[in-house]
Chains A and B, each alone.
Chain A
Amino acid sequence: MMRWMLICGLLMISDRAVRAEEAIALKDAPGRDVVAGYCGACHSLDYPRTNARFLDRKGWENEVDKMIKAYGAPIGENDAKAIVDYLAANYGADR
């Protein structure tokens, strides 16, 4: 499912944008691939990077919850937790 989402996301954009996007480096830490796979399916990864570092864990939980409930991201409970863990640890206010 994750790979399918990623492919769908990438098909929508040009090669130029894909190359530029690849330069967005998320911090190498546990959970990075889950974040890149799910979040990156619908938006580039500069979204979490620019929204740093002011959201605490609860704040990131709300964001991930919004992506699932309001925007229909098909993310299971364990993966959602892994995403929140990663964002709170690496881009959160309460590092």
Chain B
Amino acid sequence: MISRRAMIAGGALALAGWRSRSAHAESDAFLPQGLPDGVYDTAILEALPGKRPLIKLSYRPPNYETPLSYFTSPFTANDSFFVRYHLAGIPEEIDAAQWKLTVGGEGLAQPLELTLSDLRTNFDAIEVAAVCQCSGNRRGFSEPHVPGVQWSFGAVGNARWKGTRLRDVLERAGVRREAVEIVLNGADGPVLDGTPDFVKSIPLGKALDENTLLAYEMNGAPLPHYNGFPLRLILPGWTATYWMKHLISIEATTKPFTGFWMKNAYRIPNGKFPIVEHFLSQMTAVNEPITEMVINSMITAPAHGDTLRAGGTAEIRGVAWDGGYGIRRVEISTDGGDNWSEAELDDDVGRFAFRVFRYAFTPPRPGRYQLMARASNAIGQMQTAKLIFNPAGYHNNVTRPLTVDAV
């Protein structure tokens, strides 16, 4: 189907000609409306090694998002999964046989050094289906726009993650009573000495949760390089900032970790978002670290600008997710939010996973229709209709309409 918007844009550009025609006409086909101008001028579809063409927002460090049209199943394929790095010092290749994870810190009784084979053979293997979503997913839609990677819908994916429970590893090392946080570091790092290495911490309670994994497999295959090979943290329900890639070190601390990426970055203003789980040892009087994902959904078909047949039935399909409380209902509006009807939900594949929804839509007459989806969960939360602005553009779960025409 040819995007109506691409056609209109192409025509307008031919007339106006003030912007690079090829660049804009091209990005228009895979980018939604509402992003900063510069994104349409710069973003391209490009394949990293081992990946399908994704939307390239930056080369170095690589930040590539999944086009909406790729979300055709509840699980996101490894070659379609988004890529996000903070710092450009990325390991080119990692030899899994030589790789080691160090486990230590003053909060543990017995330091350990583990190989990948230790993890695979000496611990139980657990598999969890979970959504991995960048805290800044949809930042590009913020009004007003805020600086950062200008993500649209695609800094999110759902996969089956298999690995060792972090709890089992910590228990083997002996968690001391004084332990407060678990600090995680990966093999990627900064270009300059003066740039803080990307290091994160999580509360001890989350580290000991049965769903928190050190994953070496994703959807039945080794992790792709750009998704953290050979080992990454999986923290179901919480945003991807904690899901440390290329994991090389785990430390239990007896004091709150004070690194830049905890103390200064990835913080949200207190009290603005409906958050159940807080990171208590990192809270201040004004802000707190981002924690669980807010409830969200996206329509994956039809696409913005598609043409449907009046009187014919089309399926509106998409996925919904939250912080693990359980999607209970997804409602669809075909008139821009005035009226809502309940969609059908596919089988639940896990409370941390995408929940697929479907709705049979028969446009009664020719014309333009504004399609929207809004999800609610088992603890009574619903997506917001109005943006909850915050300076870093986190937690954007606004119900966004897309437009289709029936002829």
Contacts and interface: CB of A to CB of B under 8 A. Distances in A.
Which range holds the interface residue count of chain B?
A: 35 or more
Given A51-B147, A52-B36, A59-B147, A46 B88 contact: no
Contacts of B145: 54
Given A51-B38, A63-B147, A41 B60 contact: no
Contacts of A52: 36-38, 41
A29 interface: no
**Interface residues of B, dominant DSSP:** loop
A53 interface: yes
Given A17-B60, A63-B147, A53 B46 contact: no
A30 to B, nearest CB: 20
A51 B89 CA distance: 22
Interface stretch (B112-120, B157-165, B189-197): B189-197
B90 A72 contact: no
B32 interface: no
Contacts of B33: none
Interface residues of A, number: 32
Interface string A45-64: 01101111111000100110
Interface in A26-44: 41-44
A53 B36 CA distance: 7
Contacts of B36: 50-54
B194 A73 contact: yes
Interface of A: 5, 8-9, 12-14, 17, 20-21, 24, 41-44, 46-47, 49-55, 59, 62-63, 70-74, 91
9 contacts: A5-B191, A14-B92, A46-B42, A50-B39, A51-B36, A51-B147, A52-B38, A70-B264, A71-B196
Given A42-B88, A51-B148, 8 more contacts: A13-B88, A42-B192, A50-B39, A52-B41, A54-B145, A63-B147, A70-B264, A72-B192
